[in-house]
A and B are shown apart, each in its own frame.
Chain A
Amino acid sequence: EVVLTQSPDSLSLSPGERATLSCRASQTIDSRYFAWYQHKPGQAPRLLISSTSTRATGIPDRFSGSGSGTDFTLTINRLGPEDFATYYCQQYTDSPPGCTFGQGTKLE
């Protein structure tokens, strides 16, 4: 099983600043199958980025994803008040099929 480790566990920033969130995989993963989510209390998680760097529908270009191999990054430019949430990375492998999530980074 691929283990995803996110860092930091929490990040304290102010509106207008830039957030950089990291996710490291225990083994090389296919960048086509790497995603980032935003999750707020009482809401369903929301897909932000798929295929490492493709923004989902309706996601502003302040959000960007990058990386390859075992190291991936989510960058959020010009933080807005609505961006303070917990962020998860996630990967999928197809042989055998399975998914894993990182433990989350709380942006506060």
Chain B
Amino acid sequence: EVQLLESGGGLVQPGGSLRLSCAASGFDFRRYTMGWVRQAPGTGLEWVSAIFSSGSPHYSDSVRDRFTLSRDNSKNTLYLQMTSLTAGDTALYYCARRVEGAFDNWGQGTLVTVSS
């Protein structure tokens, strides 16, 4: 059974940093593209970033140059380093596995709140 468990969310001040993790199990992690999708309060889903099995990341325009996505295949873990956070980054962040462009398995999410 595919399982994705996010962690690392919390309350952070504007301008601060936070690192999210996603621990994967139940599949051959190294062979899959993995990504993050977020949902701000009262809004819809927004794609944030993804990383190919090769290790090459790509980002949405809203987080490029502030967020860094990486993976450790030896630990089956995905990392999202977030810097220069603003209130607009407040959201529930979901980790998801991507296959042929679609996110076929999702975690339950970790909440990031940016506030002073």
Contacts and interface: CB of A to CB of B under 8 A. Distances in A.
B47 interface: yes
Contacts of A51: 100, 102
B47 to A, nearest CB: 4
Question: Is chain B's binding surface mostly helix, strand, loop or mixed?
Answer: strand
Interface in B32-61: 35, 37, 44-47, 50, 52, 58, 60-61
Interface residues of B, number: 24
Contacts of A90: 45, 47, 102-103
Interface range, A side? 20 to 34
A35 B103 contact: yes
Interface stretch (A67-75, A77-85, A93-101): A93-101
B71 to A, nearest CB: 15
A44 B46 contact: no
B104 A32 contact: no
A37 B107 contact: no
B94 A101 contact: no
A51 B50 CA distance: 19
A98 B47 contact: yes
Nearest to A88: B45
Contacts of A17: none
B50 A97 contact: yes
Given A44-B109, A45-B106, A98-B58, A33 B100 contact: yes
23 contacts: A33-B101, A33-B102, A35-B103, A37-B103, A44-B106, A44-B108, A45-B37, A47-B104, A47-B105, A50-B99, A50-B101, A50-B104, A56-B104, A90-B47, A91-B101, A92-B102, A94-B101, A98-B58, A101-B46, A101-B47, A102-B44, A103-B44, A104-B44
